[in-house]
Protein backbone atom coordinates (compact mmCIF):
# COMPACT_ATOMS: atom_id res chain seq x y z
CA UNK A 1 0.00 0.00 0.00
CA UNK A 2 1.33 3.46 -0.93
CA UNK A 3 2.11 5.83 1.89
CA UNK A 4 0.10 9.06 1.99
CA UNK A 5 1.93 12.20 0.93
CA UNK A 6 3.40 14.15 3.77
CA UNK A 7 3.50 17.46 1.91
CA UNK A 8 1.15 19.93 0.29
CA UNK A 9 1.59 19.53 -3.47
CA UNK A 10 0.45 23.09 -4.23
CA UNK A 11 2.91 24.50 -1.69
CA UNK A 12 5.71 22.46 -3.27
CA UNK A 13 4.80 23.79 -6.73
CA UNK A 14 4.76 27.37 -5.39
CA UNK A 15 8.18 26.95 -3.79
CA UNK A 16 9.55 25.23 -6.89
CA UNK A 17 8.28 28.18 -8.91
CA UNK A 18 10.40 30.56 -6.83
CA UNK A 19 13.49 28.37 -7.25
CA UNK A 20 13.08 27.99 -11.02
CA UNK A 21 12.33 31.71 -11.24
CA UNK A 22 15.53 32.61 -9.39
CA UNK A 23 17.85 30.11 -11.05
CA UNK A 24 16.27 29.10 -14.35
CA UNK A 25 15.46 25.64 -15.65
CA UNK A 26 18.94 24.50 -16.67
CA UNK A 27 20.70 25.74 -13.53
CA UNK A 28 18.23 23.95 -11.23
CA UNK A 29 19.00 20.29 -10.61
CA UNK A 30 16.73 17.69 -9.08
CA UNK A 31 19.10 17.73 -6.11
CA UNK A 32 18.56 21.52 -5.80
CA UNK A 33 14.82 21.00 -5.89
CA UNK A 34 14.98 18.31 -3.21
CA UNK A 35 17.09 20.50 -0.94
CA UNK A 36 14.94 23.60 -1.46
CA UNK A 37 11.66 21.74 -1.05
CA UNK A 38 12.77 19.39 1.69
CA UNK A 39 11.80 16.33 -0.35
CA UNK A 40 13.60 13.18 -1.36
CA UNK A 41 14.16 12.65 -5.06
CA UNK A 42 11.87 9.62 -4.93
CA UNK A 43 9.01 11.81 -3.66
CA UNK A 44 9.62 14.35 -6.39
CA UNK A 45 9.65 11.69 -9.09
CA UNK A 46 6.62 9.90 -7.66
CA UNK A 47 4.58 13.11 -7.52
CA UNK A 48 5.79 15.04 -10.57
CA UNK A 49 7.37 12.33 -12.80
CA UNK A 50 10.44 14.45 -13.62
CA UNK A 51 11.99 17.91 -13.37
CA UNK A 52 10.43 19.01 -16.65
CA UNK A 53 6.91 18.18 -15.50
CA UNK A 54 7.46 20.09 -12.25
CA UNK A 55 8.82 23.02 -14.26
CA UNK A 56 5.69 23.09 -16.42
CA UNK A 57 3.56 23.03 -13.26
CA UNK A 58 5.65 25.90 -11.88
CA UNK A 59 5.17 27.91 -15.07
CA UNK A 60 1.42 27.26 -14.94
CA UNK A 61 1.37 28.30 -11.28
CA UNK A 62 3.15 31.56 -12.09
CA UNK A 63 0.72 32.30 -14.91
CA UNK A 64 -2.23 31.61 -12.60
CA UNK A 65 -0.90 33.94 -9.89
CA UNK A 66 1.48 36.72 -10.98
CA UNK A 67 0.28 36.93 -14.58
CA UNK A 68 -3.33 37.04 -13.42
CA UNK A 69 -2.49 39.80 -10.95
CA UNK A 70 -0.96 41.87 -13.78
CA UNK A 71 -4.01 41.29 -15.98
CA UNK A 72 -6.32 42.42 -13.17
CA UNK A 73 -4.31 45.63 -12.76
CA UNK A 74 -4.58 46.45 -16.46
CA UNK A 75 -8.34 45.88 -16.33
CA UNK A 76 -8.81 48.22 -13.35
CA UNK A 77 -11.14 51.19 -13.69
CA UNK A 78 -9.65 54.61 -14.28
CA UNK A 79 -7.79 56.62 -16.89
CA UNK A 80 -6.01 54.23 -19.24
CA UNK A 81 -2.66 56.03 -19.25
CA UNK A 82 -2.63 56.19 -15.44
CA UNK A 83 -3.42 52.47 -15.26
CA UNK A 84 -0.74 51.65 -17.83
CA UNK A 85 1.92 53.70 -16.03
CA UNK A 86 1.01 52.27 -12.62
CA UNK A 87 1.16 48.72 -14.01
CA UNK A 88 4.53 49.28 -15.67
CA UNK A 89 5.99 50.80 -12.49
CA UNK A 90 4.55 47.94 -10.40
CA UNK A 91 5.86 45.37 -12.84
CA UNK A 92 9.49 46.48 -12.56
CA UNK A 93 9.36 46.96 -8.82
CA UNK A 94 7.56 44.06 -7.21
CA UNK A 95 9.74 41.03 -8.02
CA UNK A 96 12.93 42.13 -6.24
CA UNK A 97 15.21 41.75 -9.25
CA UNK A 98 13.79 38.45 -10.46
CA UNK A 99 12.33 39.77 -13.69
CA UNK A 100 9.37 37.91 -15.12
CA UNK A 101 9.43 34.12 -14.90
CA UNK A 102 7.76 33.85 -18.32
CA UNK A 103 10.22 36.27 -19.95
CA UNK A 104 13.18 34.59 -18.24
CA UNK A 105 11.95 31.20 -19.43
CA UNK A 106 11.40 32.39 -23.00
CA UNK A 107 14.91 33.85 -23.04
CA UNK A 108 16.47 30.69 -21.59
CA UNK A 109 14.61 28.01 -23.52
CA UNK A 110 13.39 29.94 -26.57
CA UNK A 111 11.91 27.58 -29.12
CA UNK A 112 13.81 24.49 -27.92
CA UNK A 113 10.93 23.15 -25.82
CA UNK A 114 7.51 23.10 -27.52
CA UNK A 115 5.55 22.70 -24.26
CA UNK A 116 7.33 25.64 -22.68
CA UNK A 117 7.03 27.73 -25.84
CA UNK A 118 3.28 27.06 -25.95
CA UNK A 119 2.93 28.35 -22.38
CA UNK A 120 5.14 31.41 -22.81
CA UNK A 121 3.43 32.41 -26.04
CA UNK A 122 0.01 31.99 -24.40
CA UNK A 123 1.12 34.24 -21.54
CA UNK A 124 2.49 36.81 -23.99
CA UNK A 125 -0.77 36.76 -25.93
CA UNK A 126 -2.75 37.48 -22.75
CA UNK A 127 -0.53 40.52 -22.17
CA UNK A 128 -0.96 41.73 -25.75
CA UNK A 129 -4.73 41.23 -25.65
CA UNK A 130 -5.06 43.00 -22.30
CA UNK A 131 -2.92 45.92 -23.51
CA UNK A 132 -5.03 46.20 -26.67
CA UNK A 133 -8.19 46.27 -24.58
CA UNK A 134 -6.77 49.01 -22.35
CA UNK A 135 -5.70 51.10 -25.35
CA UNK A 136 -9.08 50.73 -27.05
CA UNK A 137 -10.75 51.79 -23.82
CA UNK A 138 -8.41 54.80 -23.72
CA UNK A 139 -9.46 55.78 -27.26
CA UNK A 140 -13.12 55.32 -26.39
CA UNK A 141 -12.75 57.41 -23.23
CA UNK A 142 -10.76 60.14 -24.97
CA UNK A 143 -7.51 59.45 -23.07
CA UNK A 144 -5.73 58.48 -26.29
CA UNK A 145 -5.86 59.87 -29.83
CA UNK A 146 -8.60 58.35 -31.98
CA UNK A 147 -6.04 57.76 -34.76
CA UNK A 148 -3.80 55.59 -32.55
CA UNK A 149 -2.74 52.41 -34.36
CA UNK A 150 -3.62 50.01 -31.54
CA UNK A 151 -1.88 46.99 -33.07
CA UNK A 152 1.40 48.88 -33.57
CA UNK A 153 1.12 50.46 -30.11
CA UNK A 154 0.60 47.04 -28.52
CA UNK A 155 3.68 45.62 -30.23
CA UNK A 156 5.74 48.64 -29.16
CA UNK A 157 4.48 48.42 -25.57
CA UNK A 158 4.97 44.66 -25.46
CA UNK A 159 8.57 45.05 -26.62
CA UNK A 160 9.03 47.78 -24.00
CA UNK A 161 7.60 45.46 -21.34
CA UNK A 162 10.00 42.66 -22.24
CA UNK A 163 12.94 45.05 -22.23
CA UNK A 164 11.91 46.49 -18.87
CA UNK A 165 11.66 43.02 -17.36
CA UNK A 166 15.13 42.08 -18.61
CA UNK A 167 16.58 45.35 -17.34
CA UNK A 168 14.87 44.85 -13.98
CA UNK A 169 16.39 41.36 -13.74
CA UNK A 170 19.79 42.84 -14.61
CA UNK A 171 19.48 45.19 -11.63
CA UNK A 172 19.16 48.45 -13.53
CA UNK A 173 18.28 51.56 -11.55
CA UNK A 174 14.48 51.75 -11.07
CA UNK A 175 14.61 55.51 -11.68
CA UNK A 176 16.01 54.92 -15.16
CA UNK A 177 13.30 52.35 -15.83
CA UNK A 178 10.69 54.88 -14.65
CA UNK A 179 12.14 57.39 -17.13
CA UNK A 180 11.64 54.87 -19.96
CA UNK A 181 8.12 54.13 -18.74
CA UNK A 182 7.17 57.81 -18.62
CA UNK A 183 8.53 58.35 -22.12
CA UNK A 184 6.55 55.39 -23.51
CA UNK A 185 3.34 56.56 -21.85
CA UNK A 186 3.80 60.16 -23.08
CA UNK A 187 4.51 58.89 -26.59
CA UNK A 188 1.19 57.05 -26.60
CA UNK A 189 -0.69 60.17 -25.56
CA UNK A 190 0.76 62.20 -28.42
CA UNK A 191 0.85 59.55 -31.17
CA UNK A 192 -1.45 59.79 -34.14
Determine what percent of the chain is predicted with pLDDT higher than 90: 73
Give the global pTM.
Answer: 0.88
Residue 54 belongs to some domain of the structure = no
pLDDT in tens, 34-87: 899 888 888 888 888 899 999 999 999 999 988 788 888 888 899 999 999 999
Residue 41 belongs to some domain of the structure = no
191 pLDDT tier (thresholds 50, 70, 90) = confident
1 pLDDT tier (thresholds 50, 70, 90) = very low
**Are the CB atoms for 16 and 58 separated by under 8 Å?**
yes
Residue 118 belongs to some domain of the structure = yes
* Residue 161 belongs to domain with CATH number: 1.10.357.10
User: Average pLDDT, stretch 91-96?
Assistant: 81
Residue 74 belongs to some domain of the structure = yes
Residue 37 belongs to some domain of the structure = no
CA angle 54, 4, 64 (to 5 degrees): 35
- Count structural domains, the chain: 1
Residue 85 belongs to some domain of the structure = yes
Residue 70 Cα distances to 124, 127, 164, 176, 180, angstroms: 12, 9, 15, 21, 19
- CB atoms under 10 Å from CB of 165, counted, come to 22
Residue 66 belongs to some domain of the structure = yes
Residue 24 belongs to some domain of the structure = no
Q: 157 lies in which domain range?
A: 62-190
Question: What is the structure's pLDDT at 97?
Answer: 83
| DSSP 8-state class, residue 4 | P
pLDDT in tens, 129-179: 999 999 999 999 999 999 999 999 999 999 999 999 999 999 999 999 999
Cα separation, 97 vs 6, whole angstroms: 33
- CB atoms under 10 Å from CB of 169, counted, come to 17
Asked if the model's pLDDT at residue 2 lies above 70, the reply is: no
Amino acid sequence: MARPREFDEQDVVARATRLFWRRGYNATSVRDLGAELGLKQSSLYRTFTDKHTLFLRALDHYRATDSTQAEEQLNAPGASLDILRAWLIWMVGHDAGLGCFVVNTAAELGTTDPEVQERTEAAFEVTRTTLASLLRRGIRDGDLPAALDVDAAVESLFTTVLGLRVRERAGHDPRRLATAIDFAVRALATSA
